[in-house]
Amino acid sequence: MHIEEILYTQGFGTRRVCAGLVQQGFVTVEGQSVVDPGEDFAAGGLRFTVQGTPWEYHEKAYLMLHKPSGTECSQKPSTYPSIYTLLPSPLRLRPNKGAVQGVQAIGRLDQDTTGLLLLTDDGQFIHRMGSPKHHVPKVYEVTTKHPVDQSQVDRLLAGVVLDDDPKPVRAAACELAGPLHLSLTLTEGKYHQVKRMLAAVGNRVEALHRSRIGALALPADLAPGQWRWLRAEEVDGLRTARAGQPAVGVDR
């Protein structure tokens, strides 16, 4: 693949801009300067730098972000900064046929909710992860306003009725982790679901943190606001995620 095309697919600008970056000597491949936009390279796993920024070629982008509080999962935020401002420009500008440029968040977390957020430019992956029929489990660490007792846990497991649907909504798992702390697993994603479920049992969410999606847990060393690429085995694990699957491979 031409180096100009490689840069374009990775989000470094239009083809003309990418050709210019090469011609001006701003691109190195495996430590060697490249000045011919038409020079061919094997794209898979190629490591290069653009204006001093190291990069590795990814045909599709799959990444995790530790979402901090006070950010919105929107390209056009209304009140708080967008989570997309936490990502480097190429990830926001990757070309995508017939869709919005760049990676997109898979689902949303409220502005005050923290934790694991997945982003990709793979439309099929977004659909698979967001489809209710796959029941991908998501684990939330909930800090409550009032002490939690076993009766509230039992009600969350049995199912509570929310104000927009007569069908009960159940937690796939729910464990007491302290007087004011629950670990709650859901396999569906309704609007403000955790907060509304806790309200339905007479309590209130004071803080909410998503710690796991499927078998993928948020790494302890990924600080709020930081992101990293997903490894191939992590992507494969998410593709096959089902309810009841334990976390593997990453420490919580």
pLDDT at 242: 60
**Residue indicated by tokens 């599709």:** 60
Whole-angstrom Cα distance, residue 82 to residue 50? 25
Taking the chain (252 residues) in consecutive chunks of 10 residues, what is each chunk's mean pLDDT?
Answer: 97 96 96 96 96 96 98 92 97 87 93 97 89 84 96 96 86 95 91 92 96 95 98 92 49 36
DSSP per-residue string spanning 19-81: HHHHHTT-EEETTEEE--TT-B---TT-EEEETTEEEE--SS-EEEEEEPSS-BSSSS-SSS-
Count other C-beta atoms under 10 Å from residue 133's C-beta: 5
CA distance 109 to 208: 10
H or E stretch covering 200: helix 193-200
Residue 248: per-residue pLDDT: 39
User: Tell me, what's the pLDDT at 163?
Assistant: 82
**Which residue type is seen at 118?**
L
Q: How far apart are CA 15 and CA 4, in angstroms?
A: 6
What pLDDT was estimated at residue 251? 38
Backbone φ, ψ for residue 210 (5° rounding): -90, 120
pLDDT at 208: 97
Query: What's the pTM?
Result: 0.90
The residues annotated with a catalytic role in the active site are 110
Task: Say if CB 208 and CB 112 are below 8 A apart.
Answer: yes
Report yes or no: 182 and 144 within 8 Å, Cβ to Cβ. Answer: yes
Determine the 3-state secondary structure of 59 from DSSP.
coil
Q: Name residue 55's beta-bridge partners.
A: 48
In 3D space, the residue among 50, 122, 118 whose CA is nearest the CA of residue 90 turns out to be 50
**C-beta separation of 187 from 135 below 8 A:** yes
Distance spanning both ends of the chain, measured CA to CA: 39
Distance, in Å, from the CA atom of 133 to the CA atom of 91, rounded to the nearest integer, reads 29
Q: What pLDDT, on the 0 to 100 scale, is given for residue 166? A: 84
Residue 29 and residue 3 in contact, taking contact as beta carbons nearer than 8 Å: yes
